[in-house]
Homo-oligomer: A and B are copies of this chain.
Amino acid sequence: MASRRSGEVRARPDDWLTIGEVSARTGAAVSALRFYEELGLIASERDDRNQRRFPRHMLRRIALISVAKRIGIPLQDLKDAFADVPLDRPPSHQEWQRASRGWKRRLEERRQTIERLEAELTGCIGCGCLSMKACALLNPGDTLARDGVGPLRL
């Protein structure tokens, strides 16, 4: 990109990034960034040529979106979790902390689900799971708790 190699040719302040730059730095596709903006997950301003300019603090949000994607958390959940973090200005330490903690809780839940499943699967490996008796994997706790019906329990 010539305009970058030649420095601040267009007198663009260093803390505003083009969509291409954001894409390069976050790994998210340009089309994906536009899509996230449409969803209200991120925001940008426009320059005199109607091109998006992203404030630097937006990179953090985009990183979080990528992370959520990697572990299969729907974007809507992320939107909810970070609803209180402002889009139009760099979030304060406190705002960011609060949302981060909330999100960390979600991560923890997810990890614990996996850990539980790992343990259950280990049990199944141990017993061969051929008897299918008292197998937690085949008898998930949440289903049991939800409706009192014991799937797979005879």
The quantity of this chain's copies bound in the complex is 2
Assess whether B60 is in contact with A93, with CB atoms less than 8 Å apart: no
A55, B27: Cα distance in complex, Å: 46
Report the stretch among A4-12, A30-38, A44-52, A63-71 that lies at the interface: A63-71
Verify B59–A152 contact, CB threshold 8 A.
yes
* Residues A107 and B118 in contact, CB atoms below 8 Å apart: yes
For residue A148, CB closer than 8 A to chain B, the reply is no
Q: Interface residues of A, CB < 8 Å — how many?
A: 47
Interface pair B97/A128, CB less than 8 Å apart: yes
Cα distance A149–B121 in the bound complex, in angstroms: 38
Do B137 and A125 touch across chains, with their CB atoms under 8 A apart?
no
Contact of A110 among B56, B71, B104, B108 (CB under 8 A): B71
Residues of A that sit less than 8 Å from B by CB: 24-27, 56, 59-60, 63-64, 66-67, 70-73, 90, 93, 96-97, 100-101, 103-104, 107-108, 110-111, 113-115, 117-118, 121-122, 124-125, 128-130, 132, 137-138, 140, 143, 149, 151-152
- List the 3 closest A-B pairs by CB distance, nearest first: A72-B72, A93-B128, A25-B151
In addition to A24-B151, A63-B140, A107-B114, 4 A-B residue pairs with Cβ atoms within 8 Å of each other are A24-B149, A66-B140, A67-B117, A96-B124
